[in-house]
A and B are shown apart, each in its own frame.
Chain A
Amino acid sequence: MQQSPEPFWVELLSRHGEVLERHRVERGDVRIGRAYDNDIIIDDPYVGARHLRVTRDANGVLVAEDLGSANGLFAGESMRSTARVELRGEGTIRIGATRLRIREASHAVPPERRFEPRGWGWPVVAALAIAIMALEVVSTWLGQTTEPKLADYASPVFMLCLALFVWTAVWSILSRIFAGRARFRRNLLVGLAGLLVLSVLFELTDYGAFALSRRELTAYRYVGLWLAIGLFAFLHLRMISLSHLRLKAGAVAAAALAVIAMQTLSNAKSHTVMDRQNFVQQLKPPSLRLVKAESEPTFFAAAADLKASLDRARTQQPDSEDTDFGDD
């Protein structure tokens, strides 16, 4: 015979698993449906007037039983309706468009979360922001060959701040919607880190192209930049929730590759009407050279080698000639 039945909880969940309502059930039996003679009323047009009963079976296990509804009862994410589901606390059930979770009062909860350490707080954010803005200002200053004007420095810094704010705000809103918490500071931190990586990548390729005499570093820099943007978008997604990480990584990678492909196509298109200056145009101080200087005969030997390749290109049709997909 049953002992005095333990109370349990019926929880109505949102699509994303947030609890919308909780009902405590003291006795071992509860009726759920749209009609007013139920114990728990659900305003969902897809739910039957008397849809569901939750009770305990002979062993004291909670079970949900369909009371003959048109749309049926579903266990978890299953697509097949069933007449009866045993409830073990973790899983959910669905009736109509409503998800429910039923838990014993004795259900164990995870230990309390400690407050996050203060190390990654606002001082770090401020330091990162200052580093990025300083990099931007120095970079503008080093490219300044005309009369210095405040606007030359203020407007890129302002644009950068604006872009960063918009980026962070969008991720915070997404985070608020899907995870219930905006986590503005953490999103800002990821955004700042991303911006720092992009700035450094940009400057490094700029100087590297000259120092190593490799035009490819700047011409194909857009690939690196988009991959970095993808990586940081993934970090934002990861912060929203740790679920489906592979799916998220795949989606971000696919999006990044799609953008890279688009830019490659548009580069190729612009090269059909314009020739390109395919050499490193941005000079840097001579002392930054890293590669060995060629002797003059070596230089002209390499120049002579271009002839064969040009003669090959001459025999091709203008439409089918190899295109360089780099970015000017």
Chain B
Amino acid sequence: MNYGVLVAVLALQILASADGAYAADSSVANRAPSGAADTVYEVARLRLLQIRTLLVSTGRQTSLGSAFRVSADGLAITNYHVISQFALEPATYRLEYAAPDGQRGKLKLLGFDVANDVALVQVDGAGQPYFEFDRKALQDGTPKGERLYSMGNPLDIGFTIVEGTYNGRVARSYNERVHFSGAINPGMSGGPAVSSAGRVVGVNVAKRWGGELISFLVPARFAAELVEKRRTPVELSATAVRAELGRQLLAWQEHFYGVLAEEELPSRALGPYLAPDSPARWFTCWARTNEEQIPRPRATLYTTLCNTETSLFISNDLSTGEVRVSHSYAKSVDLNAVQFAAFVSSQFRPAWFGWNRKRHTRTQCHEAFVAAKPPATPPLRAVWCARAYRDFSDLYDVSLLAVTQDRPKEALVSRLTMHGVSYANAMRFGERFLQEIRVAAEP
């Protein structure tokens, strides 16, 4: 199932194989910076930080990222994913910063915004110069095409400045992200992207694998809000982090499904059936068929798959927030009813992400035949599967599967998969989804 495009978060880690990225990276690093970049970097240099996550037991680094100072009293902004290991397991990991002048020290986690992948940390050493936020960017007024300079410490080879272009908000994305055309590399996560005046427009966060220079920034607004909210320097404990994560995820999905509830579910015709299609423009949809396969398939299959690309990074072994809607319409060419049922069985699977014993409870399912409601709703065989998140109360992964049972040699298999959803929202959207599986009126 290779519909999706990989968006990788850019903390540099042991597991990230550096070889492939390295070649591309050095070509950028060797490019002579323009005059503007020269000045910007000179001004910015002392405001940049590298953030290392170290294993408490050995003192060796397990992950690297970047950060930048945003106040005279030592506040700095980075990505949530840069500090996530420490945030969730402070007994195993600790954080350390390194400044370009070689200075090192401890840092404290003050707050984070998991949906927008930013975190606020406190470093010691007051009185250092710091970045200011770009006022135009805070009001979403940066013109497309403006030069931006992204900074950070890619692959731990030294602080680097990368020139690129602001390309506006990413269309078809529920979570606000800025599309930056420039080379952001692993290790630059959490570094700033600044205007030629040296003011912060966004925070480096991710790039798309398989694309060229397609990178993403978190709009400066979210970093600024985090700084505003957390003026009192209180360090977060592990329990507080989990509680806060749970609270933010719950709030995030509440808003997400609230918006979804107001969208219409347009019907898409698939054979004699009508299937609920992607409700909002931030669903990315794909389709495929087996029609052209050789040997000729004995049943044709049309599949549409929509997903939201709203995956939220929680930890290296847990992402959440994505919704998938998919439908497969199958029609027998020369299979008999039993063979056709076996063929449809191969589509009758939930489409959700890997299970992790530490993070999820076991999946529990309810399956049943659901009666038809004439005239439009066909009889179904439906399966509701759910698993709970161990760390966050009232958050679940839910999958609803349904296959029509009104014809022996034609069927519609519909799948709805919701990651990180409250049970109430899952029920609400699930019921709506199931009711929208219909039989088209006879012509």
Query: Chain A interface (Cβ within 8 Å of chain B)?
Result: 141-147, 213, 215, 271-287, 289, 291-296, 298-300, 302-307, 309-311, 313-314, 318, 321-324
Contact = CB atoms under 8 A, between A and B. Distances in A.
Interface string B331-359: 00001111111111110111000010110
B434 A275 contact: no
B367 A279 contact: yes
Given A142-B338, A280-B367, A281-B349, A324 B362 contact: yes
A142 B368 contact: no
A302 B365 CA distance: 10
Given A147-B295, A287-B408, A306-B386, A142 B349 contact: no
Most buried by B among A213, A280, A299, A300: A299
Given A276-B363, A306-B386, A299 B368 contact: yes
Given A299-B366, A314-B361, A314-B393, A283 B344 contact: yes
Interface string B416-432: 00000001000100110
Contacts of A318: 357-358, 390
A266 B370 CA distance: 35
Interface stretch (B17-25, B181-189, B376-384): B376-384
Contacts of B381: 213, 283, 286
Nearest to B360: A275
A309 to B, nearest CB: 6
11 contacts: A142-B342, A145-B342, A146-B298, A147-B298, A279-B385, A285-B337, A289-B369, A293-B369, A296-B431, A304-B427, A310-B387
What DSSP secondary structure best describes chain B's contact surface? Answer: mixed
Interface of B: 295, 298-299, 335-346, 348-350, 355, 357-358, 360-373, 377, 379, 381-390, 393, 396, 401, 403, 405-408, 423, 427, 430-431, 434-435
A interface majority secondary structure: loop
Contact of A142 (B295, B339, B372, B408): B339
A280 to B, nearest CB: 6
Given A296-B371, A296-B434, A300-B427, A275 B364 contact: no
A283 B403 contact: yes
Contacts of A278: 363-365, 385
Given A144-B339, A280-B367, A302-B366, A275 B387 contact: yes
A310 to B, nearest CB: 4
A277 B415 CA distance: 14
Given A144-B339, A299-B368, A313 B355 contact: no
Contacts of B388: 310-311, 313-314
A257 B431 CA distance: 44
A283 B373 CA distance: 22
A298 B346 CA distance: 27
The 5 A-B residue pairs with the shortest CB-CB distance, nearest first, are: A275-B355, A286-B405, A293-B371, A303-B384, A313-B361
A293 B364 CA distance: 20
A215 to B, nearest CB: 7
Contacts of A282: 341-342, 345
A145 B295 CA distance: 12
Contacts of A146: 295, 298
B426 to A, nearest CB: 9
Nearest to A304: B427
Nearest to A278: B365
B427 A303 contact: yes
B225 to A, nearest CB: 31
A208 to B, nearest CB: 14
A293 B357 contact: no
A285 B370 CA distance: 15
A288 to B, nearest CB: 9
A279 B337 contact: no
Given A296-B434, A300-B430, A273 B343 contact: no
